[in-house]
Structure 1
Amino acid sequence: MFDDAMLRRCEDIMVEVCDSFAAELREFNGEDDHVHLLLRCPPKVSISRPVHSLKGVSSHYLRKEFTGRVNRAIMHGHFWSPSYFAASCGGAPLTIIKACIEQQRRPA
């Protein structure tokens, strides 16, 4: 369902949400059905808190702004999957992780 315009807007929304948690969105990219984020979060912030907000806030605005592209029947009323994957990457060079995210097959 994502196209480049939706992904650009999604990234803008997620930057704002990260700012509210004193977190930093270091890298963002997506494909037609999912997104990848590289976040830098303060150590005292449980990762579930910003993820919950990232999903909730982006869902609200993307549904509102891209109504024609969002088909609620196909997604059973949910914009995002209820699950997510998070991993610590403190030991890996950020350049490698950023490169992996940049190489996603972004839709036109």
Structure 2
Amino acid sequence: MSRCRVGKGSHSIFSVRLHFVFVTHYRRKVLTAKMLDRLQEMVKQVANKMFCELIEFNGEPDHVHILLDFHPKNSISAVAGSLKSSTARMLKKEFPEEVQQHYWGKVSFWSNSYYVASCGGAPIETLKKYIQNQQSP
């Protein structure tokens, strides 16, 4: 993962880092190591399309942590929505057996809610270490 950057717009200079946590629906322990690896790739792709940059990613069987260098031309809810919808769709498509063990019918993959916090108060290295130390499956 790359270092955090200071971005520039036509009339602004910004450095916005956001810590997202997405929880699986019903907090089911669905995510495997292979799924987490693929999720990281997906999150990076979606973030890049939204002019954001993935700084750190990790998770456990029932949730993921995402640390993003956020571009303020986006809304936080739009980025969260895009990340959740695209990753859910791809996980269901690429890992149907794993997903169907826990969810069937039209049940969504991610919980409807999410956590997000600005990372301005804590040193970025502290947050990175916290995410790196998640108990991956």
| TM-score calculated relative to the size of structure 2 | 0.74
3-state SS of paired residue (1:50): helix
Distance 1:44 1:19 in 2: 13
Partner of 1:27: 56
Among 1, 8, 13, the alignment partner of 2:37 is 8
Larger Rg: 2
Matches within 5 A, 1:24-103: 24-71=53-100, 72-73=103-104, 77-103=107-133
Q: In the alignment, residue 53 of structure 1 is paired with which amino acid? A: S
Q: Percent identity between the aligned chains?
A: 43
Distance 1:61 1:98 in 2: 26
Q: In the alignment, residue 42 of structure 2 is paired with which amino acid? A: I
Distance 2:84 2:46 in 1: 10
Is 1:106 the counterpart of 2:136? The answer is: yes
Aligned residues between the structures: 106
Distance 2:35 2:72 in 1: 30
* Superposed structure 1 runs of 4+ greater than 3 Å apart: none
Q: Which has the higher strand share?
A: 2
Distance 1:24 1:48 in 2: 16
Provide Cα deviations, 1:56-76, integer angstroms capped at 9, x if missing partner.
Answer: 000111100000000223x96
User: What 5-or-longer segments of structure 1 have no aligned partner?
Assistant: none
3-state SS of paired residue (1:27): strand
Provide Cα deviations, 1:6-62, integer angstroms capped at 9, x if missing partner.
Answer: 000001000000001100110000100110010111123211111100000001111
Distance 2:96 2:38 in 1: 14
Flag the 1:22–1:69 CA change in 2: closer, same or farther, 3 A: same
